[in-house]
């Protein structure tokens, strides 16, 4: 498993369709430190739990979106060669490498059928210092509890190889998405044959071993709620503007009403008007 490539997919991919995201994660799972992989289509189909035709369809979509480059028949045993076009964050150093083609040409050497190290890549690299992500004990406990909550089971001891797999996956996981995972597992009976619910694992330990993929499916199926909008004005500011501009008009009871169809057409005017009134007051104060 390539942690940098998998992290890049989670952090930078803009894919909204679950199929495209799962295929990209499957490729990242086989990628080397440069984001290059050469799994066959049947291998990707088994990894992504979908048909070969669907894999090929998502590969074309990913290439069209600019998140994947495909070099036909350049991989091992004549398979396609894939390069993820997302910034890579090294597992140990926390340095981000841009693997896109901006500012320089990419040169890929065909893979030898006897030596996987035959893949080389020369790119212009831009390094941005960031804080390396290191799994913490509380992160591991958090995801263990979340996985057991998916099955509404009490936490019990986990086998060592499952804990190792979970530790490897933790740097790629966003704790803010745990509620989506729990909703995904509890929205339908576990024996449901309805996609994508039929792709769920059937025990907490199996879920932990497939957590990145399961979390991706969960987010697509049960998206997290939109973050609460932060406004730099109050309902009093709205009332003050409307009263001065439209005396006797109907006044909204809360800021949330500005998002309703009734006020939608005036929202931009209200926000601009409040901002201009503040600027006028600030200028008057400076004078």
The residue written with tokens 């998206």 in the block is 223
As a whole number, mean pLDDT of residues 273-287 equals 82
Taking the CB of residue 46, how many other CB atoms lie within 10 A of it? 14
As a whole number, the mean pLDDT across the chain is 80
* H helix runs in 170-259, sequence order: 178-186, 204-209, 211-221, 235-245
pLDDT exceeds 70 at position 35: yes
Give residue-wise pLDDT tens across range 175-186: 999 999 999 999
Q: Tell if the pTM clears 0.85, that is, is over it.
A: no
Identify the pLDDT of residue 58. 92
Rg of the chain on CA atoms, in Å: 25
Higher pLDDT, 173 or 116: 173
Of the ranges 16-25, 112-121, 222-231, which is most confident? 16-25
Contact (Cβ atoms closer than 8 angstroms) between residue 35 and residue 125:
no
Domains recognised in the chain with CATH numbers: 3-129 (1.10.10.10), 137-221 (no CATH), 235-286 (no CATH)
Q: How far apart are CA 142 and CA 256, in angstroms?
A: 33
pLDDT band at 253 (very low <50, low <70, confident <90, very high): confident
Identify the pLDDT of residue 113. 41
As a whole number, mean pLDDT of residues 37-57 equals 90
CA-to-CA dists, residue 15 to 8, 25, 66, 71, angstroms: 12, 11, 11, 21
Higher pLDDT, 137 or 134: 137
As a whole number, mean pLDDT of residues 26-43 equals 88
Contact (Cβ atoms closer than 8 angstroms) between residue 4 and residue 90:
yes
Q: How far apart are CA 249 and CA 237, in angstroms?
A: 15
Higher pLDDT, 110 or 49: 49
pLDDT band at 147 (very low <50, low <70, confident <90, very high): very high
Largest CA-CA distance found in the chain, in angstroms, rounded: 82
- β-partners of residue 226 are none
pLDDT band at 131 (very low <50, low <70, confident <90, very high): very low
Identify the pLDDT of residue 137. 63
pLDDT band at 229 (very low <50, low <70, confident <90, very high): low
Q: How far apart are CA 266 and CA 255, in angstroms?
A: 13
pLDDT exceeds 50 at position 203: yes
pLDDT exceeds 80 at position 123: no
As a whole number, mean pLDDT of residues 49-54 equals 89
pLDDT band at 142 (very low <50, low <70, confident <90, very high): very high
User: Range with the lowest mean pLDDT among 83-97, 113-127, 218-232?
Assistant: 113-127
Q: Dihedral of CA 94/209/55/121: which sign?
A: positive
């Amino acid at each position: 498993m390539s942690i940098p490539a998998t992290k890049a997919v989670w952090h930078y991919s803009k894919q909204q369709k679950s199929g495209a995201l799962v295929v990209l994660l499957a490729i990242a799972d086989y990628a080397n430190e440069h984001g290059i992989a050469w799994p066959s289509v049947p291998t990707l189909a088994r990894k992504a739990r979908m048909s070969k035709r669907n894999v090929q369809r998502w590969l074309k979509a990913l290439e069209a979106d600019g998140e994947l480059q495909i070099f036909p028949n350049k991989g091992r045993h004549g398979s396609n060669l894939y390069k993820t076009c997302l910034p890579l964050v090294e597992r140990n150093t926390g340095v981000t490498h841009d693997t896109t083609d901006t500012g320089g040409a990419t040169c890929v050497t065909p893979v030898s059928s006897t030596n996987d190290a035959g893949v080389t890549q020369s790119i212009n690299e831009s390094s941005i210092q960031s804080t390396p992500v290191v799994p913490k004990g509380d992160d591991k406990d958090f995801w263990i509890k979340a996985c057991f909550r998916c099955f509404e089971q009490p936490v019990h001891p986990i086998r060592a190889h499952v804990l190792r797999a979970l530790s490897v996956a933790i740097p790629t996981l966003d704790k803010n998405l745990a509620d989506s995972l729990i909703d995904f597992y509890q929205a339908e009976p576990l024996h449901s044959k309805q996609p994508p619910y039929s792709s769920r694992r059937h025990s907490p330990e199996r879920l932990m071993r497939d957590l990145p993929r399961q979390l991706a499916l969960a987010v697509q199926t049960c998206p997290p709620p939109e973050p609460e909008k932060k406004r730099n004005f109050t309902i009093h500011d709205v009332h003050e503007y409307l009263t001065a501009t439209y005396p006797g008009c109907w006044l909204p009871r809360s800021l949330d009403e500005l998002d309703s169809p009734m006020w939608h057409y005036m929202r931009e005017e209200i926000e601009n008007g409040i901002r201009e009134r503040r600027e006028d007051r600030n200028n008057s104060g400076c004078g």
